[in-house]
């Protein structure tokens, strides 16, 4: 399961790219996909600590993969140093949104939806804030 989840986290930004072109709500679609990852993690067997660590790993992988996708734009504007800045900003975002869903879900399955809503709101706020600077 872990290998499948990691592969999905790597592929996710590329799979979501055409969807986000048609429907400009990346905060929603990315969090839906990460919710699927969270559900896979919560259904897996293993210790709670391993589930939390896997969630953090998936957040890092998702952020890195998404940043690779954005390299196309970064090179077009001629500032490759933005890649590192983007990683520094998106890794904590994607780990944080994964934790907003995993931690409540570990406590009680019904709390995942609250975590999902918080993750979408956080991601939306992040996109608005970062959009002001980039």
pLDDT, one tens digit per residue, over 61-79 is: 999 999 998 887 777 777 7
pLDDT of 134 reads 61
Q: Determine, yes or no, domain membership for 17.
A: no
pLDDT of 44 reads 92
Q: Determine, yes or no, domain membership for 132.
A: no
Q: Determine, yes or no, domain membership for 21.
A: no
pLDDT of 80 reads 79
DSSP labels for the chain? Answer: -HHHHHHHHHHHHHHHHHHHHHS--HHHHHHHHHHHHHHHHHHS-S-HHHHHHHHHHHHHHHHHHHHHHHHHHHHHHT-TTHHHHHHHHHHHHHHHHHHHHHHHHHH-GGGHHHHHHHHHHHHHHHHHHHHHH-
Q: Determine, yes or no, domain membership for 97.
A: yes
Section 119-125 average pLDDT:
97
Total-model pTM: 0.91
Residue 21's Cβ-count burial label (10 Å; 0-12, 13-18, 19+) is: exposed
Q: Determine, yes or no, domain membership for 71.
A: yes
Q: Determine, yes or no, domain membership for 34.
A: yes
Identify which has the larger pLDDT, 2 or 122: 122
Q: Determine, yes or no, domain membership for 112.
A: yes
Q: Which domain holds residue 52?
A: 2-12+26-127
pLDDT of 78 reads 73
pLDDT of 54 reads 97
Q: Determine, yes or no, domain membership for 55.
A: yes
pLDDT of 125 reads 96
Look at the chain and report how many structural domains it folds into: 1
């Amino acid at each position: 399961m872990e290998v499948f989840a990691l592969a999905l986290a790597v592929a996710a930004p590329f799979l979501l790219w055409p969807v986000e072109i048609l429907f400009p709500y990346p905060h929603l679609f990315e969090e839906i996909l990460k919710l699927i990852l969270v559900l896979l993690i919560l259904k897996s067997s293993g210790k709670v600590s391993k589930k939390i660590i896997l969630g953090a790993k998936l957040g890092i992988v998702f952020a890195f993969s998404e940043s690779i996708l954005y390299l196309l734009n970064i090179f077009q504007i001629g500032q490759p140093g933005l890649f590192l800045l983007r990683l520094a900003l998106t890794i904590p975002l994607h780990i944080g949104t994964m934790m907003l869903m995993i931690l409540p879900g570990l406590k009680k399955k019904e709390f995942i939806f609250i975590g999902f809503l918080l993750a979408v709101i956080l991601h939306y706020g992040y996109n608005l804030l970062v959009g002001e600077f980039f």
